[in-house]
Amino acid sequence: MSNRSIHRRDALKSMVAAAAAPYVITSTALGNADTPPASERVTLGHIGVGGQGRGLLNNFMRCRNAQSVACCDAYSDRREAVANLIQGKAYADFRELLARDDIDAVVVATPDHWHVPIAVAAARAGKDAYVEKPLGLTGEQNLLCRKVFQEHGRIFQYGTQQRSSAHCRFYCSLVASGKIGKIKALEVLAPNGGAGGSTQEAPVPPNLDFDMWVGPAPLKPYTPDRCKTPGTYWIYDYSIGYLGGWGAHPLDLLVWGCDNDLAGPMTFEGTGTIPTEGLYDTVYNWDVKIEMAGGVPMTFKPGGDYTKFIGEEGWVAVARGRDRCDAYPASLNTLELKPEEMLPASPGHYQNFVDCVASRETPVSNLADAVRSDMISQISDIAIRLGRKVTWDPKKEEIVDDAEATKLLSRPMRAPWTL
């Protein structure tokens, strides 16, 4: 645990030993067989407590050794409701939450464009972070996020919960342990995006701090569809659409199952639809073809939610839904792998993070893999928008000989926000 926790534990012992007057220490503070003392718990602050954020809160409240003590949201009713639930403090500005030295880690479940700016600020403030997918709004943000967490020695868990599912671990382990031989093709499917969204300006709801919600993104008029799903995913100012927002899940399984993309440059070429009317303007109906290292072909399309590894000796299809997983030959479905052939196990995605905050071990959904999978989404989006081939070198972590494409790896941020 952190020095803060040690200091708090020593302070508690001193207070008990020195008590000269009637003094009560509550059972909540001391803990019991199931609930450890407050000094030994991982304390959490939740930043973004809407639909996904509230779901994460519920899951973390079930974790051993964890205590949620604070929350932050641009919507006042959301943060006040959660503060009442956890009997903690509500904040309108995440920087005030990060300034607290009694918080070990944060759970970030904001709209996409805030993921990396808040995560980076958290790491610099000495906090570990659980960050929802996708990772960055840009490739530049992805690389910076990894750099900052490495420099500050912080723990990071990515919100790709399938890595804590036993069936995903088993099927990806089949691939990683070579049970289908050398990979000769890869297929990835993710749910599609779409068009639409009202562009009619409307009054900002009184419970919303719209300026804080927008943060580093361009400030544009409030409309009824701007700050809610699917607008938060399908507006380019805040996201690259389901290419990243949902593609993160099957692409994460791709990275977990095989390291093919680390061997050499990857060339992307694709098409897609970018709406010209309505509020939503991220790519949908995409069709991306990627030539991986060694000429291995990969396709990335909408229409499902799964990853297929095709090898010289068989194939494996893995998805978050157990009933959609399969393998050929069929005997692979019941094969007993040796312990050393299995990918890392997790006691549950949220518990895994809490445990790693305490132990300082690497969580099952690590930041290095998050960057690798998210860069596939980012370069796919760039290739579609430019309408031509773009080559990414995953070793040098740069686009090859293409200044125009390289420029799209970053975006300006609205003052006063910076990384």
Would you list the domain boundaries of the chain? 3-162, 165-345+366-407
Alpha-carbon distance of 341 to 177, in angstroms, equals: 6
Amino acid at the residue 36: P
Q: Is residue 243 within 8 Å of 377, Cβ to Cβ? A: yes
Q: Retrieve residue 405's tokens.
A: 């494409």
Q: Is residue 212 within 8 Å of 414, Cβ to Cβ? A: no
Over residues 402-407, mean pLDDT: 98
Q: DSSP secondary structure string, 217-249?
A: S------TTTTSTTHHHH-TTT--THHHHTTHH
Return the minimum-mean-pLDDT range out of 2-11, 93-102, 143-152, 385-394. 2-11
Residue with tokens 């003094």: 23
Residue 175 CA, distance from chain mean position: 23
Q: What is the pLDDT of residue 294?
A: 85
Segment 376-398, tens digit of pLDDT: 999 999 999 999 999 999 999 99
Q: What is the pLDDT of residue 334?
A: 97
Q: What is the pLDDT of residue 3?
A: 39
What CATH number labels 3-162? 3.40.50.720
User: Could you check whether the bond before residue 329 is cis, i.e. omega within 30 degrees of 0?
Assistant: yes
Q: What is the pLDDT of residue 36?
A: 66
Alpha-carbon distance of 51 to 228, in angstroms, equals: 10
Q: What is the pLDDT of residue 193?
A: 97
Alpha-carbon distance of 417 to 392, in angstroms, equals: 28
Does the pLDDT at position 262 exceed 90?
Answer: no
Q: Which residues pair with 25 in a beta bridge?
A: none
Q: Retrieve residue 105's tokens.
A: 């880690």
Q: Is residue 146 within 8 Å of 368, Cβ to Cβ? A: yes
Alpha-carbon distance of 375 to 392, in angstroms, equals: 9
Return the minimum-mean-pLDDT range out of 5-14, 143-152, 197-206. 5-14
pLDDT confidence band for 208 (50 / 70 / 90): very high
Q: Is residue 378 within 8 Å of 386, Cβ to Cβ? A: no
Q: State how far the alpha carbon of 32 is from the alpha carbons of 40, 258, 373, in Å.
A: 12, 44, 42
Q: What is the pTM of this model?
A: 0.90
Does the pLDDT at position 15 exceed 60?
Answer: no
199, burial (CB in 10 Å: exposed 0-12, middle 13-18, buried 19+): middle
Does the pLDDT at position 18 exceed 50?
Answer: no
Does the pLDDT at position 29 exceed 70?
Answer: no
Does the pLDDT at position 164 exceed 80?
Answer: yes
Task: Find the angle CA(49)-CA(54)-CA(58) to the nearest 5 degrees.
Answer: 140
Q: State how far the alpha carbon of 401 is from the alpha carbons of 138, 390, 405, 407, in Å.
A: 19, 9, 9, 12
Segment 285-330, tens digit of pLDDT: 999 999 998 899 999 999 999 999 999 999 999 999 999 999 999 9
Q: What is the pLDDT of residue 259?
A: 78
So what's the architecture of 165-345+366-407 in CATH? 2-Layer Sandwich (3.30)
Length of the chain: 419
Q: How high is the mean pLDDT of the chain?
A: 91
Over residues 238-264, mean pLDDT: 91
Rg (CA), the chain: 23
Q: Is residue 243 within 8 Å of 302, Cβ to Cβ? A: no
